Amino acid sequence: MTQDELKQAVAKAAVEYILPMLDRDTIVGVGTGSTANLFIDALAKHKHTFDGTVASSEASAERLKGHGIPVYELNSVSEIRVYVDGADESDHHLHLIKGGGAALTREKIVVACSDLFVCIADESKLVNVLGDFPLPVEIIPMARGHVAREMVKLGGDPVYREGVVTDNGNHILDVYNLEILDPIALEKSIDGIVGVVTNGLFAKRSADVLLLATKDGVKTLKK
């Protein structure tokens, strides 16, 4: 199976996984990226079984609306039953690196408001130690130099993601060569740097469930 076929399989599996949780009052949180896009397309077939969605990016909101699925502002909903999103890496504790699509801040906010976080990924994303994928850090633009120097002190090699402006009007540093042995501690350290908006470690609040597409089928990993 190709990586695209694996993503397709896990997107469909995610819809089947959350279907029993949906009723006419349910709000679904929706992530960003190519796997999340396939999830949106699969979810559209069931759009009459739930109330609507909160999206973690403008791109996902547009895709949802294109399917005729209602998209609410986060501040206008009181509960998100389940949030479904991809990841760039997951370890076996379901600590994640996210932000390859530059949506990490809104993703983290929607996760924080969700009862359950279902991560969807193909098997290439499961690793023993996080950090092969460069860690995205969303920064206030004027703080770029400062944050980059602080990331070097933490052992990383930051690279400015040229030409990318996030939905929040900020910039991204991709930090290479971090061997992330304590993801929760590193997430807190980076969040403490002045000028950082969010970093792409989802460890303090990890995924609750990882649906992992493999050549032998979709596996369900739980914390």
Binding residues are 32-35, 85-88, 98-101, 125
Subset of 90-109 contacting ligand 5RP (CB under 6 A): 98-104, 107
Strand partners, 121: 212
Q: Which residues are annotated as a binding site for substrate?
A: 32-35, 85-88, 98-101, 125
# residues near ligand 5RP by CB under 6 A? 18
- Angstrom distance (rounded) from CA 175 to CA 145: 13
Question: Checking DSSP bridges between strand 171-176 and strand 157-160, what pairing results, if any?
Answer: antiparallel
* Residue 84: Cβ within 10 Å count: 27
Helix H or strand E encompassing 159: strand 157-160
| Nearer to ligand 5RP (CB atom), residue 103 or residue 148 | 103
58, 89, 107, 150: which is the annotated catalytic residue? 107
Handedness of CA 92, 85, 100, 121 (dihedral sign): positive
Between 60 and 81, CB nearer to ligand 5RP: 60
Of the candidate residues 13, 84, 85, 158, the single one contacting ligand 5RP (CB under 6 A): 85
Q: Is 35 in the site for ligand 5RP (CB under 6 A)?
A: yes
Q: Scan for tokens 């989802």, then name that residue.
A: 202
Active site residue 107: yes
Q: Nearest distance from residue 220's CB to ligand 5RP, in Å?
A: 18
Distance CA 35, CA 21 (A): 21
List active site positions.
Answer: 107
Q: Which residues in this chain contact ligand 5RP in the complex, by CB under 6 A? A: 31-36, 85-88, 98-104, 107
